[in-house]
C-alpha cells in the first residue's frame, strides 16, 4: 500500500493491554496488525475498523513469528513499528521453592524468547527499509511490567521473563540506532485485564490501602496513551528509555 499511515504490529492486540494500545493507534489513523485468540480477535477487529488486520500467529513459535512479519509486509509493504505486548501469566502461581521447570519453560518461551526473536525478524525488515530510504524512522516497544524490578516470589518465572525484556530493550536500542529505529520499554503497573481478574479482591484491598499514589487500577487505555507517541516516532533522542505507567506504585516512599 502506498499511503503514509504508519504500519504497526501489536502482538496480543486482541484483548487487554494490547487492545488498548491497538485502539489508540487505530484512532490516530495507523494500520494495525494484531494477533491473538481468534474469538477475541474478531471482536477486536470490529472495534478497530477497516485499517486493522489479523494474522493467526503464536509468538512462541518461530514459524509463526516469521509468518506475522511476512503477512504484514505482503499486506502493507512495510513495518513502521512493533509493539511487543503479548505475554502470559503462570498457569499456577507457585512459590519459587516449589515451582516446576515445565511452567518456567513455557512462560519464558512465550514472554521472552518470542518477543526477542520477533524483534530480530522485524529489525531485519526495518533495516531494509532504512537502506532503501535513509529518511525512514521506526520504533520498537517492549511492554514489560513493574515485575521486572518488583519481586513476587509466587511467580518468579513471570518476574524473570519481564526483567529479561528490560535488558532486551537496551540491547535492541543499541543495535538498531544506526537504522533509525528507536527502542523503548513501557512498564505497566496493576492494570485491569482478564490476566488480573483472578486477583481483583487482593489488589482492590492493596490499592485502597495505598499501594499506588493514584488510588485506582490502571486501564488498558492508560498504556495505549503511553505507547502512542513511541509508536509514532514522536519521542525522539530517547532510545532505550523506560516509561513507567503504574500510578506511582514504584515511587520509593517512607
**Whether residue 53 lies in the annotated active site:** no
Q: Which helix (H) or strand (E) holds 40?
A: helix 38-48
Under 8 Å between Cβ of 223 and 20? yes
Give start and end residues of each alpha helix (H) in 95-155.
Answer: 101-108, 114-132
Beta strands across the sheet bearing 81-84: 52-54, 31-34, 7-10, 81-84, 138-143, 181-188, 242-245
- Report how far apart, in Å, the C-alpha atoms of 61 and of each of 27, 103, 116, 158 are: 30, 17, 12, 19
3-class SS at 71?
Answer: helix
- Report how far apart, in Å, the C-alpha atoms of 22 and of each of 38, 70, 214 are: 16, 20, 25
Cα four-point dihedral sign 15, 16, 18, 23: positive
Q: Is 240 exposed, middle or buried (0-12, 13-18, 19+ CB in 10 A)?
A: middle
Q: Which residues pair with 8 in a beta bridge?
A: 32, 81
Given 158, 184, 203, 237, the catalytic residue: 158
Grid cell 489488589 in the structure block, residue: 203
* Active site residue ranges: 158
Amino acid at each position: 500500500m502506498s499511503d503514509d499511515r504508519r504500519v504497526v504490529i501489536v502482538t496480543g492486540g486482541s484483548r487487554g493491554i494490547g487492545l488498548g494500545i491497538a485502539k489508540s493507534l487505530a484512532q490516530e489513523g495507523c494500520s494495525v496488525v494484531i494477533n491473538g485468540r481468534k474469538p477475541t480477535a474478531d471482536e477486536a477487529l470490529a472495534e478497530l475498523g477497516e485499517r486493522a488486520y489479523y494474522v493467526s500467529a503464536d509468538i512462541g513459535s518461530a514459524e509463526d513469528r516469521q509468518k506475522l512479519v511476512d503477512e504484514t509486509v505482503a499486506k502493507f509493504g512495510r513495518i513502521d513499528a512493533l509493539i511487543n505486548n503479548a505475554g502470559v501469566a503462570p498457569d499456577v502461581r507457585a512459590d519459587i521453592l516449589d515451582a516446576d521447570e515445565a511452567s518456567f519453560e513455557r512462560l519464558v518461551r512465550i514472554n521472552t524468547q518470542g518477543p526477542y526473536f520477533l524483534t530480530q525478524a522485524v529489525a531485519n525488515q526495518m533495516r531494509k527499509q532504512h537502506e532503501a530510504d535513509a529518511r525512514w524512522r521506526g520504533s520498537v516497544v517492549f511492554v514489560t511490567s513493574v515485575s521486572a524490578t518488583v519481586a513476587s516470589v509466587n511467580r518468579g518465572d513471570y518476574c524473570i521473563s519481564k526483567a529479561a525484556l528490560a535488558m532486551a530493550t537496551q540491547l535492541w536500542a543499541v543495535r538498531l540506532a544506526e537504522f533509525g529505529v528507536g527502542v523503548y520499554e513501557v512498564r505497566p503497573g496493576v492494570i485491569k485485564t482478564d490476566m488480573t481478574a483472578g486477583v481483583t479482591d487482593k489488589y482492590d484491598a492493596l490499592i485502597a490501602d495505598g499501594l499506588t499514589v493514584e488510588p485506582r487500577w490502571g486501564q488498558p487505555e492508560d498504556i495505549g496513551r503511553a505507547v502512542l507517541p513511541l509508536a509514532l516516532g514522536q519521542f525522539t533522542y530517547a532510545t532505550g528509555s523506560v516509561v513507567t505507567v503504574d500510578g506511582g506504585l514504584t515511587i520509593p516512599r517512607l
